[in-house]
């Protein structure tokens, strides 16, 4: 079984009740964090995990809302760890990730210096192990396998989606994207897919051109549903709601996705959990190993 927890279901727009984009995936003994938006560590505490408990950080792309709390995550993992055996944090993301991580650590250079000077047991700065990829298998450790494929969030490029597989169960993290063939292929037969969505019919009415333009590189619930249907996904988990889902509106969002997707649809608040069991996805495409 793989467990998915929506840590932050918000977007770049600050919201009192929704943290920025981030999702937790627990597979076997591993805890994977996908993206680290605003407030991610508060939500991780709510999900009974922490920076030092993370097995790896996966980044779908380098938009600010998805990496807003990267510095806080790296520094917190560093200063709250008392295990000399804790390995460097694996970080997997698209090309550009290594530059963003090292620039982030540079931005915290004064802080790192203060703490190393003060605490004799902090003998090295935060340790990371960054891997950049746009396709293929990027992780195969203790029965957990992770594959990446390009998504289409143009003009933002490159962007990637992740497929996590464990013991016959599988979850795809699509990130921000419009429908595209490589996502269809990545998601084929998956037990669940976490997909970011925006309500284009509402956003398109706003007076600001800059806001309307975000419709160009996101999927609507109907489009996310169509992708999930084509790929034969078992459960469609919507997140990154724009505008934010208001209490009582969940059925409206679900109904839009249900016009194109015939199976289970999840719309939730921060900390919403979904269990994904082996064999939930359709066997039509039969790609699960």
How is 101-142 classified by DSSP, letter by letter? HHHHHHHTHHHHHHHHHH-TT--S---EEEEE-SSEEEEEET
Count of chain residues binding Zn ion (CB under 5 A) = 3
Among 18, 26, 38, 63, which residue interacts with Zn ion (rule: CB under 5 A)?
63
Cα(240)–Cα(245) distance, integer angstroms: 10
* Least CB distance to Zn ion at residue 28 (A): 28
Judge contact between 195 and 236, C-beta under 8 A: yes
Q: Of 188 and 193, which has the nearer Cβ to Zn ion?
A: 193
Q: Of 38 and 63, which has the nearer Cβ to Zn ion?
A: 63
Binding mask 157-196 toward Zn ion (x if CB under 5 A, else -) reads: -------------------x--------------------
Give the range of 63-71, 116-124, 164-172, 252-260 binding Zn ion by CB under 5 A.
63-71
* Least CB distance to Zn ion at residue 240 (A): 6
- The CA radius of gyration of the chain, in Å to the nearest whole number, is 19
Q: Of 176 and 184, which has the nearer Cβ to Zn ion?
A: 176
Q: Of 63 and 230, which has the nearer Cβ to Zn ion?
A: 63
**Tokens 């595209």 correspond to what residue?**
180
Q: Which of 257, 202, 267, 224 is nearest to 13 (CA)?
A: 202
* Least CB distance to Zn ion at residue 204 (A): 18
Q: Of 13 and 137, which has the nearer Cβ to Zn ion?
A: 13
Longest dimension (CA), the chain: 60
* Least CB distance to Zn ion at residue 35 (A): 8
What lies within 8 Å, CB to CB, of 126 at 6+ separation is 74, 75, 77, 78, 89, 105, 112
* Least CB distance to Zn ion at residue 263 (A): 25
Which of these is catalytic: 15, 35, 65, 270?
65
**Tokens 């897919």 correspond to what residue?**
193
Kindly state whether residue 65 participates in binding Zn ion, applying the rule CB under 5 A: yes
Q: Is 65 a catalytic residue?
A: yes
Cα(13)–Cα(19) distance, integer angstroms: 10
**Catalytic sites, residue numbers:** 65
Which residues here bind Zn ion, judged by CB under 5 A? 63, 65, 176
């Amino acid at each position: 079984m793989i467990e998915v927890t929506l840590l932050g279901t918000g977007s770049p727009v600050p919201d009192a009740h929704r943290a920025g984009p981030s999702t937790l995936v627990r597979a076997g003994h591993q805890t994977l964090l996908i993206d680290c938006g605003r407030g991610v560590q508060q939500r991780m505490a709510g999900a009974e995990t922490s920076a030092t408990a993370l097995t790896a950080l996966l980044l779908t792309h380098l938009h600010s809302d998805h990496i807003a709390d990267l510095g806080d995550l790296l520094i917190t993992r560093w200063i709250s760890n008392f295990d000399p055996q804790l390995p460097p944090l694996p970080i997997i993301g698209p090309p550009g990730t290594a530059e963003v991580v090292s620039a982030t650590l540079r931005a915290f250079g004064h802080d790192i210096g203060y703490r190393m000077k003060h605490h004799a047991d902090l003998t090295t700065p935060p340790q990371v192990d960054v891997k950049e990829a746009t396709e293929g298998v990027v992780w195969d450790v203790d029965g957990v396998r992770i594959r990446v494929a390009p998504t289409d969030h143009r003009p933002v490029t490159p962007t990637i989606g992740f497929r996590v597989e464990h013991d016959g169960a599988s979850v795809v993290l699509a990130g921000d994207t419009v429908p595209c063939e490589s996502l269809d292929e990545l998601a084929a037969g998956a037990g669940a897919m976490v997909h970011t969505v925006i309500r284009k019919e509402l956003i398109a009415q706003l007076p600001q051109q800059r806001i309307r333009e975000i419709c160009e590189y996101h999927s609507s619930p109907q489009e996310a549903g169509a992708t999930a249907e084509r790929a034969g996904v078992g459960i469609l988990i919507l997140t990154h709601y724009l505008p934010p889902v208001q209490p009582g509106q969940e059925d409206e969002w679900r109904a839009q996705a249900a016009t194109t997707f015939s199976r289970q649809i999840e719309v939730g608040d921060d900390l919403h959990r979904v269990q994904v069991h082996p064999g939930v996805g359709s066997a039509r495409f039969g790609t699960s190993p």
